[in-house]
Amino acid sequence: MYTIFGNCMAMPSHGTESEDDNWGRHFDQKHHNNIRWYMNYEQSNLQIAIHVMLMSKADSINIVQLSPLHRTPFIDSISPRTVNTLTGSIAGACWSDTKPELGDNGLYIECTWQNKMDAMNLEEKPAYKEFNSDKDKEYIKAYRKRNYIAQAKWELHTAIAIIDTHSKASGHDIRIMPPRARDHEIDKLSFLNKLQIKEIQEIYNPNRIFWYKDQYTGKQIGTRYYPEKDLDEIINNHLQPWLNSSI
């Protein structure tokens, strides 16, 4: 049994189109009806870590798809959300222990209580994708202008350490799928930021993270860069043996 915390780089197979090909689609075809899916497309890495702490399962291998660095929590007076710091767009980032459903657009609806809110057919529904005050809009505008990469990398490694510590404390088998190798590089950070992240790295087991070595370049790559034509090869001959082994 598997539990997958998915996003746009890891989705179930049913209903997804070929142009949305991803490792989750192929893994789902291989283990159909043997996966418990949680979908949330826009969580930041710290939000993902908390999600995993709340909902990882003892009866399965838990697989966590991390997010890119360009996601930051945005929790205002309306709801828990997140902002894409590249585009400025807002999306929901709350969660509930519910099975994802297929939406009208062929993509899975997120496992959030937004679905439940919509089902209540409220006369006034919160505007999930809009700013609710000028101060919030100014805050996000200023945040996007600052150099937030150092903070995003700190959050990434902290999230991994949280997940790793939770796995050790709970006994749950949790594996991590990173989207991009460059996100984990810290050589260009300042001395103190680099020192702090190195201390964080000492806490977690790096073997919990799955890296695929590109057969064409010889470089480690994350899920965002898996060649589509090699997805079955990656799943069957690299990811699956790693999941079957102890870390």
* Distance between CA atoms of residues 202 and 215, nearest Å: 29
pLDDT at 123 over 80: no
List, in order of start, the domains of the chain with CATH numbers.
2-70+95-113+150-244 (3.40.50)
pLDDT at 130 over 90: no
- Residues 41-55 have pLDDT tens digits of 889 999 999 999 999
Q: What's the confidence (pLDDT) of residue 9?
A: 87
Closest Cα to residue 178, out of 193, 163, 189, 194? 163
Tens-digit pLDDT profile for residues 7-25: 888 988 765 555 568 999 8
pLDDT for 128 equals 65
Query: Is the pLDDT at 124 greater than 60, yes or no?
Result: no
pLDDT tens per residue across span 90-120? 887 777 777 777 777 666 777 665 665 565 5
214 has pLDDT over 60: yes
Torsion sign (Cα): 53, 57, 62, 64: negative
> Quick check: 230 pLDDT over 90?
yes
**Average pLDDT of every residue of the chain:** 88
Give the least confident one: 76-90, 117-131, 135-149, 180-194. Answer: 117-131
Residues in the chain: 247
